[in-house]
Amino acid sequence: MKVMGIVAGRHNGNSEIMVKEALLACQEAGAECTLINLFDYNILPCTGCEGCTMNMGEVAQGKGEYRGCVLKEKDDVDKLITAMQQQDGVIIGCPTYDLMPSSVYTRFAQRFLAYEQAFLLKIGALKEDKHCVAGLIAVGGSCHDWQGLTLETMAASMFTQSIQVVDQYMTTRVGRPGNVLLREDHLKRAHQMGENIIKAIQTPVGEREWLGDPDLGLCPNCHGGLIFKGDVHWDGIQFPFECAVCGAGGDLVKDENGKVKFVLAENGLCRDRNVDKCRDLHLDEIIETRIHFFQNIDQVKEKSGKYRDLKFPAV
Ligand SMILES: Cc1cc2nc3c(=O)[nH]c(=O)nc-3n(C[C@H](O)[C@H](O)[C@H](O)COP(=O)(O)O)c2cc1C
């Protein structure tokens, strides 16, 4: 069993301590553990060039070879993701900055697209599907009310790697580095997360289940807490409400005790981003949008001059 801890917080900070405590449990169970702190690596932001997805489209149609990310030789991300894709489990600890994960984490995670695991497996660039599982730890100085986007954003970053999130925990009210050492409950829960990761790894892939707090979040599919009013999708599908993280669709209803529940529609998982088949449908949307763009490229060229030539002073 290989488990990697990924920390996006300060050295000797609260995220690092929580992840180390979780890794201890994995080590006790016999796992080979590694730990990286993202601050130690050069991680360039995704340039947004779309070179990877354009190239993936070509390769899928049998044209050419996959070149990977344009930044591949320029920073440490290739090394980090390559190591991550060899793991059976990952435990990620990230501080909340302004309600959301710190940018060190999102900068790293937004580079995952060029390494989309399902695609790399399909073209043989990745030999083995490790069916990796993840435990996510958010850390913040405040309670849930000031950390409302962290775990959800971290969970949303997992689908391009086809990583199954089996546990999540929000570490509340720890501010200064080491503050979490005063909170035995948090440390105990981190240890439990390590145990949960081992339990998931030792469970046959198709039988793996959520091992975190059963009441976490509203979504019965991914335990995310962000449910929004649904709009019409590109292909006409619409749900009254949707989960912002996994894309599950359904309705908000009150049970017999007056408790609000998010009940999935019959076809409510047809947009589940964690399922490769559903992500393929999203690819259809991207392809359709691109076809429309290229069919109308003359119009774009004609209109773009106005904006290209429009200049405002920078700072
Ligand atoms: C720029 C910045 C923004 C922050 N915003 C929040 C916030 O919105 N909510 C919160 O609970 N804590 C916030 N914090 C506090 C950190 O999450 C907290 O100090 C945490 O323990 C840092 O993790 P670390 O010790 O692993 O680095 C913020 C800290 C910084 C530096």
Question: How many angstroms does the Cα of residue 95 sit away from the middle of ligand 1?
Answer: 6
**pTM for this predicted structure:** 0.96
Cα–ligand 1 centroid distance for 12 (angstroms): 14
Counting atoms of ligand 1 from 1, which one is nearest the CA of 7?
Answer: 26
**What residue's CA is closest to ligand 1, atom 4?**
97
Lining ligand 1 with CB less than 6 A are 9-10, 13-16, 95-99, 139-142, 146-147, 174-175, 177
Task: Please tell me the class of the 1-216 domain.
Answer: alpha beta
d(CA 82, CA 209): 26
Pocket test for ligand 1, best of 12, 17, 18, 97 (most atoms within 8 A of CB): 97
Closest atom of ligand 1 to CA, residue 177:
25
Residue of 158, 260, 249, 169 whose CA lies nearest to 211:
169
Q: Where in the chain is the domain with CATH 3.40.50.360?
A: 1-216
> Which numbered atom of ligand 1 lies nearest the CA of 16?
26
The string of pLDDT tens digits covering residues 57-110 is 889 888 999 999 999 999 999 999 999 999 999 999 999 999 999 999 999 999
Per-residue pLDDT of the chain (315 residues; tens, 9 = 90+): 999 999 999 999 999 999 999 999 999 999 999 999 999 999 999 999 999 999 998 898 889 999 999 999 999 999 999 999 999 999 999 999 999 999 999 999 999 999 999 989 988 889 999 999 999 999 999 999 999 999 999 999 999 999 999 999 999 999 999 999 999 999 999 999 999 999 999 999 999 999 999 999 999 999 999 999 999 999 999 999 999 999 999 999 999 999 999 999 999 999 999 998 888 888 888 889 999 999 999 999 999 999 999 999 999
Atom of ligand 1 nearest to the CA of 98: 8
Which residue CA neighbors atom 8 of ligand 1 most closely?
98
Nearest CA to ligand 1 atom 29: 97
Q: 6 CA to middle of ligand 1, Å?
A: 17
Cα of 146 to ligand 1 centre, how many Å? 10
Secondary structure, 3-state, the chain = CEEEEEECCCCCCHHHHHHHHHHHHHHHCCCEEEEEEHHHCCCCCCCCCCHHHHHHHHHHCCCCCCCCCCCCCCCCHHHHHHHHCCCCEEEEEEEEECCEECHHHHHHHCCHHHHCHHHHHHCCCCCCCCCCEEEEEEECCCCHHHCCCHHHHHHHCCHHHCCEEEEEEEECCCCCCCHHHHCHHHHHHHHHHHHHHHHHHCCCHHHCCCCCCCCCCCCCCCCCCCEEECCCCCCCCCCCEEECCCCCEEEEEECCCCCEEEEECCCCCCCCCCCHHHHHHHHHHHHHHHHHHHHCHHHHHHHHHHHHCCCCCCC
Q: Output the CA 257–ligand 1 centroid distance in Å.
A: 36
